[in-house]
Structures are given as C-alpha cells and as structure tokens.
Chain A
C-alpha cells in the first residue's frame, strides 16, 4: 500500500454547479503527478479540498490510507501536506530565515533561536539542492528564490506531500530548469508531488503520470512517457488543437518602427543602452531575454510611459520619443502590456468601458464631456462577438473575467484600432491553451495584414514560433540577432544568459 494520497469519488458543488464531479485519483510515494486542465476546469477546487480550504460535498480523501478530515489549512499541514501557492505567501520586509520559521520558531528561553533554525534549514537546503540566502530580505531576492523559500517553508514543516500550483508561471527558463531539478530531488527523497499546470512541455519533462481534468471531470489518467503532447492538449481542450500557425509570405520592405541609440533609465539605473531596433511592415520581431534585462523599460519608452534619456524612436518616420502615451497611441501604436490587470485594464469597469479606453475622450463616444453609453455598449457588444470574449454581457466587470478573457479584451481593444505597430509583451502569460492558440492567431493575422509587431516574451517557444527575426537582449543591450528558423531554444537560452553574443547572420 504505497498510495500516499487517495481521492475517492469526490464531488464539490457550489450551489447547483458541479466544480468537481466524481473525481478519483491516487498519488504514490516518490511520484510526480501532473494535474492538467484549462483555467476553470476544477483543478484549484480539487486542490482546495486537499489543502483544507474547501470541504467536499461528497466522497473522501485518504492520506496514508486513513480517512482525512481537514477543516482548515492547519489540519492539512499536520497531515504533511505542503502547498506552494501560485501567488507566494511571503513577507517582503522579513528575511528569508524569518519567513521560513514564522509560526514554528525554535526558541531558547523567550528568544528565537535563529542559529538552531539556520542550521536545520541549511541541512535541508543541501539535501534538496535548494539554493537560498537565509539572511537576504525577501523583497531583494528573485522570483525563483522566492519560490524556493516557499518550498523550504513546506520542507521545514516536514511536509511529504507537495502541491505546486502553476509553479512555472512567473519563472525564467533557467529558473524553470532549476525548479524541475528540485522536483526530481523531492521525488527521489520519497516525497509525493502534485504539479498543477497547463504547460504540456513541462509535464513531458518532469511528470510520471498525468491526470487530465475538463469541466470538473477526470478525462483520463495517462503515463506521460507513453503519451504525445498533442494527445494531452486534445484531452485537455476537448477538441483538436491547431498549434501550427499560418505564416504567409508578405512584403517586408517598408520601415515602421525605427529605434536609434536608445537610452532609458529606471530607478537611477541605466536599463536600456545604445539600443537599435527596426521593424518593417508584415514582420514580427521577437525580443528574447531573461526578465529584468530592460524589456519592460524599452516598451515603456516606446509607448510613452517612461522618459527617454537619449536616442530616437520613429514610427512611420515620425519622431515620437517623450511624447505622451495618448499622442503615441494616436500615432498608431497599440500595446498589449505585460501587466494586464494593472496597466492593461481597469478591473472595476465594465468590458464595454474597457474597450472604449482608447477613444472615450473624443467624438463620437464623448460629446461636450458626456459619454455616449449607447455607443460604448454597442461597440462593446460587437467586439465581444468579433473577438470571442466569453462573458455574460458587455456590462460585466472585467475583474470578473478569467485571465484568458481579460487578455482577449485587451487584444480586441488594441487590434480593433488597426495599429501600424502592435507591441505584445508576454501576451500569453498565465492564460490557458485555448486562449494562447487564439492570441497567437490574432498576432499572426496582424502580421499577415502587413502590420509591424514587436513581441517580448519569456516563453522561448512562443518567440521562436511567431517571430520573423529575434533580437536577444541582455542588460539592456542587444547581444545578438538570430533567425528563428535555424536556432534551437537551447542556443537561444544560452544567448539570453549573456554567454555567446553571436549573430547568425540576417542582413538588415
């Protein structure tokens, strides 16, 4: 009997809606089990029940062969279940050490025994190859290390069942590799791991078995080694997924964006320096690089959100550097920003209002300072239909939509204006495969229609698939230009780390 977790016929109802419908699964000691499903398929509900946040309507959970009753997260912790949340539960102002021991501090007299805690954690860190700096403040460390701190928190509390909720969503490729090593180390030490994701490649790489969930039901449980990526995708979405894109041959002669010797500062540091970039009509240029190497600042400079220190930005021959964001938008620049919830949308406004954000200030939408809501809602309905935004009505709040549909609202707004230059920053981050497919299609459509597209992404596959040309950025500088046709993601990964500034010749 080596089933550490056994979920038996669990159903969870919210009102009359079945979020989980008769789900059963087993998790063995030393196993990495992937839980695959689109957003809203019921993964989080299932894990909520396993971590004590939700109570099942019917069915039971067995932990180590015993029926488990979990009324709150503390009960789950006592049973050895450690949850690594997608949004880290850390305190930025505290040190790593303090974050780990918080709530379970070893004490000597009435004081915390920091030394004892540190020794114990160092031992665990060595055993599981977790590279963490105990004395650093959490606010100063990378996202990858923050995640390792979360893992350590669970290890420190002697967890032997680990649940990872979308652990790779915010990680760079290098950090993902490191995480995968850690997952293997956990499994090798006999811990059981559940890995929630919708990224097929990672499942292939790390999981032993995969449970596919769709609409609250288990579709199948498969051995990962015997199943193709395409099959997994099909099971998850419930139809054939077309991941291939239609890349037409279009003339790419006319220059649209020309960035020359650009310098941008942020927080008194040079983030972009001596940067040159050109994009032509009908061309997608991808910018590849590890997060924090100047990509955000570059986009902010082009879209007018950040002052340019030196250099020029021309769109269609017109100099636009240091113009206001509105002027730049009116000059024909559309942007799907990186941070959709804070920059791209105003969550407490309706879909129709968000769709009108680029036009609300002039006729016909506003006249004498009054908004024409009839028109706003009418336009909203049209775009919702055209762009397949799944919603109750145009008056639904954007904050109530799923991530993928929120992203569709932005895409609809930006593309509907037919921009000369479309900027897309991590356009598919955190959205499910159906939405990814759709967004990729739309971006390609723009290219095929002869528009210029600037794509920034941390997903190497995305960049390689969509781009006509890739520029590698490292510490704010261009370190190489490559042809996606002749480059593998491994080579690209090395260049992004700033290792080999080689150019695989494209003349331009």
Chain B
C-alpha cells in the first residue's frame, strides 16, 4: 500500500470516528461554560442515535439520499428535548449536576432499548439503515496534488461540518454578547445577576445547546459508524467527549482538536489492520487504547485545566 493511501485511510477513519465526539464535546463546552456540569452527554448521544435511526428507517424510502442528514436534525431535536430534564433538574430545582447527569445516562439506554423492542417486534436492536453517510470526495479540492488525495478524497463530510461548527462555536462564545453572557453565568452568576443578566435563562441555553449537539453526535455515530441502534451503539463516546472537552480546556477549538485526537485513538483498531508494522500487534491493545487514553488524559489534565469558576455550582439568588 502506498504512503498516500495509508495516510488517506488514517485521516479519513480518524475523522469518521472524531465527528460524533466533536459535536458532543462542543455541546459539553456550551453547557459547562454556562456553569452546568454535564456528565449526561452519553445519555444525550444515546437518545440522538436512537431517534435518528428510527427516523432514518421510517423515512428512507421517501427522502432518499438526504435521509441521514435530516436524521441528524431529528437526533438533535430529541437530544435537546431530553436535555430539558437536566436543565430543569439543575437550574430550576438546583439538583446536584453529577447526579442529574447520571440519571440521564441510566435512563437513556433503558428507555431507548425498551422503545426499540416495542417498535421492532421485541428485537433488542434496530435493522440496519439503508441510507447511511458514506464517504465524500470534495470536488475540486481533491484534485490538489497529495493533499487533495490525503485530506479531501473519500473522507467524512460530516466531520468537516463538525470542525466548522467548532469554529462557529468559538465565535459565538468569544465574540458575541450571547457568548459573553453565557460564560459570565458560568464564572460568577452573582456578578452577572447584578448586571441584569438572567442567570437561569443562559444556563438553560447552555444545557439545551449541549442536548442539541450531543443529539447530533449520537446521530452521527449511528448514521455513519454503527448503522443501526442497539444498547452498544454508544459505548463511552459521551464520556470521551467529556474528556475531550476537558483536554481542550473548555474551549471550542481545543475541544475540537482534542476530539480529533480521540478519534484517532478510536480508529486505531481499524488503522492497525492496514499499517504493516501495526498489523502485527494484537488488536486487543488497539481496542483498549481509546479508553486507556481517555483515563490517562483525564488524570493528567483534569487537575491542571481551569474549569469555569462556577461550573457545577447552583445559583441561589442573593439576599
């Protein structure tokens, strides 16, 4: 296999696996920047994966090629609806954020597998979707020498969309007044309140955006990787996204970069089969790798990274 082909494979598999993580990590960033810790990303992804798969299976014959993309939006909407639970619990009722998030994570797989059994005649998993997200070759760009082949041929379009959303998120958080206010309620809600900023409103916004993006993340997972929904469709990707968000220092660009790194880690079992030296290694190691890397990164960076000052703190209006 030529170097170009190997690089292309590495790059495109990395992106395919990174895309769900990028969306979800960005979601986490919005939530935690507003001060709401979100360990419920995993649950939001599961809901997104489930709802998008069901939609895809139901409407593929009507919508054709566009089905997976519309399914993403369906996943987003259901992710958002599901995240309302977290927002109500943490913002309105001032519940502990970790507990509320854990509830989402426990509830989502149980609920979605249960619904799967009801909808698909008692089976624990959905049929495989026909309309999935295939590889994409950029017209024009792919003609560039070397780079065109490595970066822009047979690659994942949705990952490029994810990176674009990452850049857009940075602009929203750091250049618009909505972003400034959202970050302010995550840093010092009391100060924000004295300046007339509605703390609850911006925290809801942060959580709902995380549900929206987390839903997309789960949907991407189902539409481009597993191609169906089962209990194991989302297996830790929500937590990897959380790790990517921390690794990326709660910054959308950092989170995007970190998610791509985790995507590389996740694609190792596949890449390992292609690259001559690596194919000698027992594939078990590659399968453990993403989880091991997640733990290592968290151990080394969680202490050092500076979270938003009021992340995880409920706001009780002053006396």
A98 within 8 A of B: yes
A77 x B176 contact (CB < 8 A)? no
A306 to B191, CA, bound (A): 33
Measured CB to CB, the closest approach of chain B to A102, in angstroms, equals 5
Closest chain A residue, CB of each to CB of B174: A112
> A77, A91, A107, A153: which contacts B187 (Cβ < 8 A)?
A91
Partner of B197, one of A53, A83, A102, A112: A102
Complex contact B176–A112 (CB within 8 A): yes
The CA-CA distance from A111 to B190 in the complex, in Å, is: 25
The answer to whether A91 and B184 have CB atoms under 8 Å apart is: yes
Is the beta-carbon distance between B196 and A93 smaller than 8 angstroms?
A: no
Instruction: Please report the C-alpha to C-alpha distance between residue A90 and residue B318 in the assembled complex, in whole angstroms.
Output: 15
The residue on A at minimum CB distance from B178 is A110
- Of the candidates A73, A101, A112, which one forms a contact with B194 in the assembled complex, judged by CB atoms under 8 Å apart? A73
What residues on A are CB-neighbors of B194 within 8 Å?
73, 83, 85, 89
Q: Roughly how many angstroms separate A104 CA and B177 CA in the complex, as a whole number?
A: 9
- Assembled-state Cα–Cα distance A85/B190 (Å): 12
A83-105 to B contact mask, C-beta < 8 Å, 1/0: 10100011111100010011111
Is there contact, CB below 8 Å, between A111 and B180? no
The answer on a CB contact under 8 Å between A89 and B177 is no
Taking CB atoms, residues of chain A closer than 8 Å to B197 are 102-103
Q: Mask for B146-184, Cβ within 8 A of A = 1, else 0?
A: 000000000000000000000000010001110011011
Do the beta carbons of A102 and B192 come within 8 Å of each other? yes
Q: Assign chain A's interface to a size class.
A: 20 to 34
Do the beta carbons of B190 and A94 come within 8 Å of each other? no
Which residues of the partner chain A approach B308 to less than 8 Å between Cβ atoms? 93
Structural contact, A89 and B188, CB atoms closer than 8 A: yes
Q: Is B195 close to A, CB under 8 A?
A: yes
Bound complex: CA of A90 vs CA of B189, how far in Å?
Answer: 10
Cβ contact within 8 Å between B188 and A112: no
CA distance A108 to B176 in the complex (A): 9
A111 lies within 8 A of B187 (CB): no
Residues from chain B with Cβ under 8 Å of A90 in the complex: 188, 191
Interface of chain A residues 66 through 81 with chain B (CB within 8 A): 73-74, 77
A104 to B181, CA, bound (A): 10
A102: chain B residues within 8 A (beta carbon): 180-181, 184, 191-192, 195, 197
Interchain CB contact under 8 A, A103 and B196? yes
A307 CB to nearest chain B CB (Å): 21
Interface centre among A83, A101, A103, A110, by most chain B C-beta atoms within 10 angstroms, is A103
- Chain B residues with CB under 8 Å of A77's CB are 196
Among B171, B181, B309, which residue has its beta carbon within 8 angstroms of that of A92?
Answer: B309
Q: Which of A73, A83, A111 contacts B175 (CB 8 A)?
A: A111
Q: Which residues of A contact B (CB under 8 A)?
A: 53, 73-74, 77, 83, 85, 89-94, 98, 101-105, 107, 110-112, 153
7 A-B pairs (CB sep. < 8 Å)? A85-B194, A91-B187, A91-B188, A102-B181, A102-B197, A103-B192, A105-B180
7 closest A-B pairs by beta carbon, nearest first, are: A103-B195, A89-B191, A105-B177, A91-B187, A91-B188, A74-B196, A111-B175
